[in-house]
Amino acid sequence: MNHLKFLMRFRFIFFFLFLSSPALQAKVISVLFIGNSFTFYPQNPENPALVEYTKHILQNQSPQDVFNFDYVTIGGHSFEKHSHTESTLNKIKSPFDFIILQGHSTDGLDLPTWFLNQDPNRGLQSAQKAIPLLISLVQPQTHILLFIPWAWASFHPLVKSNSPELFFTPPHSRAGQKWCGNTKLEHQNLIDSNYLNHLIPLFENKKMTPLFIGKNWFDLFSRSSFVESDMFNPDGFHPTALGTFFNALFISNIISQASVCHNSYIPANLDKTKAAHLQKLFFCPPL
């Protein structure tokens, strides 16, 4: 009889320890997206595609966990505009686990006067002023993922054109040069180097990981059969559903701290073969 009681007690203790295991305890992970149309394309601000895709990938990756998502995605918004937007300021100071922070696609670039006359609240100098204000509101425990965008498509009108207003003039240090450089590689390098040299140092006292999304797009075109029309909307700068899926995989890879190589979620509107090939190419180790 004592032997039976011992076995029952042992089973109870084992069962309790099993249920108490950290591996089985659900984590609640909160994620905030601060962005613009690069976040919501090819959907809309009320149902942003990058948020939706990331949520499904993470839920598939960690079904035992609970993910809470929020977002402020306003078309055309730069770091500067977000720094004056009430909804952004209210949400960014909340205790999120992760914040995906994304500015305008030109926020990593020095811009000729013509661009700034169209919209003075964008470009490198504007971003340098706005980012410190935004991140001063972020909670110490929050991990910021800095979204560094891609160079526009080669068929975009402002990339193809050689109109004089698209060139820097004296006394600018780049006088005579085109705003985006002469090649797609030069355009991407301008964005990445300006983030590295001028914007990333602003996060010195914050928990931050830079996401060189644009560099990964460029690498994709360089080493595979994927072409610009696979990733770019016909307007030449917004992402297609496949482009946004690619971005969501990178973000999910960081948040989950585990490879998304075998994650089975693919948005219903994508060619499953093409999406799976993209996923395998970038996120599965070569055999």
Q: How confident is the prediction for the chain on average, in pLDDT?
A: 92
Instruction: Flag whether pLDDT at 266 surpasses 60.
Output: yes
Identify the band that residue 11 occupies on the pLDDT scale cut at 50, 70 and 90: low
Handedness of CA 34, 39, 43, 47 (dihedral sign): negative
Superfamily for 28-283? SGNH hydrolase (3.40.50.1110)
Which residues lie below 8 Å from residue 220, measured CB to CB, with a gap of 6+? Answer: 226, 231, 246, 278, 281, 282
Q: What is the pLDDT of residues 137-170, one digit of tens each?
A: 999 999 999 999 999 999 999 999 999 999 999 9
Instruction: Flag whether pLDDT at 21 surpasses 80.
Output: no
pLDDT value for 5: 54
pLDDT value for 26: 84
For 46, the 3-state DSSP assignment is coil
For 91, the 3-state DSSP assignment is helix
Identify the band that residue 287 occupies on the pLDDT scale cut at 50, 70 and 90: low
Q: Provide the whole-model pTM.
A: 0.90
Q: Which amino acid is at 208?
A: M
pLDDT value for 285: 82
Look-up: residue for tokens 């016909």? 234
Give domain limits for the chain: 28-283
